[in-house]
Amino acid sequence: MKELQKFAYPVFFIVMAVLPHMLDDRWQAVAITFLIFAVVALSQDIILGKCGMFNMGQALFFGMGAYTTAILNNEYGWSIIATIPLAIIIPALFGILLAGPIVHLRGDYLLVVTIGFNIVFVQVLQNNLGGVTGGPNGIFGLDSLSFLGYDLMSQISVYYFAFIVLLLTLWVMHNLAGSKPGRAMHYLREDQLAAESIGINTRVYKIFSFGLGAGIAGLAGTVYATQYSAVSPEAFEFIQSVLFFSIVLVGGSSVPGVLIGVFVMFVLPEIFREFATWRYFIFGFAMIAAMIMRPRGIWPATFGKIPKFLIKDNNHGA
């Protein structure tokens, strides 16, 4: 499996790097959607997969990033690129504020509370609270991407924007896996009491996971707003959160697992148009089957990122 991954990653990156030049407009759009939703699903994986927090409101942070970009661009004339820092920071802060009072809740309670947040968020957007969200129609007519004075109108530019965001996300997740906060999240997911009893302030790392996951989802929101030059409430409904949640659960908390999940959920329905109406049905069955046969996901998380010098020749390896 490890050998396969060593080989598969470069191939995946190269294919993704040249892909848009081989696709027509429609398929480019599908590919961009894949990249964006992959980033959101990975951000959900940080909270649900790595940290074990049953968060069913990831679309909220995604939408918050998208709306931050849309409002700053539309109302205040910021360029899309200039909105990025706030499109990360605002959802991240919100994630931290929301998580603070609820992370001590048991899994099922947390699930219900985050669903509640998601529903309230969409209601706020639809009712145009504050007069900046554009109500049920949302905000449209955003500027296209521009950078250092260059206009990057083409869909290919949006594709590479999305691709860079995905690479950035994978890089962050790689850093996380080999760090004290990343390990702390694993420990508390496996056994919270044991984690506390070895010196880990689990609350801090739960909130951290929400902040980080929300920030990355927010960045994906910026790309989403760029792709459609518009945002509207229904894209961030609670049902979207359910999809991200199930992708991580069914795929398993691993990069390949999450990418496969996103592919099945968002790309296959485009390939087989007739599949589109069936996707929830099929995905529902996939969830049931996966949870019965592979309760840790189709491509489960692999631990064991330990330095080579610890692995001796006569190891009873993993």
| Interacting residues with other proteins (CB under 8 A) | 172, 175-176, 178-184, 186-187, 190-191, 193-202, 204, 208, 212, 303-307, 309-312, 314-318
Name which of 210, 43, 235 is nearest 122 in CA terms: 235
Q: How far is CA 149 from CA 1, 122, 145, in A?
A: 45, 35, 10
**225 Cβ contact partners less than 8 Å away, ≥ 6 residues apart:** 66, 67, 69, 70, 73, 80, 142, 231
Cβ-count burial 103-115 (b if 16+ within 10 Å, e if not): beeeeeebbebbb
Minimum CB–partner distance for residue 277 and other proteins (Å):
38
How many residues comprise the chain?
318
Minimum CB–partner distance for residue 22 and other proteins (Å):
34
Minimum CB–partner distance for residue 52 and other proteins (Å):
12
User: Which lies closer to other proteins via its Cβ, residue 89 or residue 124?
Assistant: 89
What letter would DSSP give residue 272?
Answer: S
User: Which lies closer to other proteins via its Cβ, residue 62 or residue 205?
Assistant: 205
> How many whole angstroms separate alpha carbon 234 and alpha carbon 231?
9
> How many whole angstroms separate alpha carbon 198 and alpha carbon 279?
44
Helix (H) or strand (E) holding 231: strand 230-231
**Amino acid sitting at position 289:** A
User: Which lies closer to other proteins via its Cβ, residue 27 or residue 187?
Assistant: 187
Name which of 300, 298, 295, 240 is nearest 266 in CA terms: 240
User: Which lies closer to other proteins via its Cβ, residue 21 or residue 308?
Assistant: 308
> How many whole angstroms separate alpha carbon 289 and alpha carbon 295?
9
Minimum CB–partner distance for residue 314 and other proteins (Å):
5
User: Which lies closer to other proteins via its Cβ, residue 139 or residue 183?
Assistant: 183
User: Which lies closer to other proteins via its Cβ, residue 203 or residue 279?
Assistant: 203
User: Which lies closer to other proteins via its Cβ, residue 115 or residue 212?
Assistant: 212
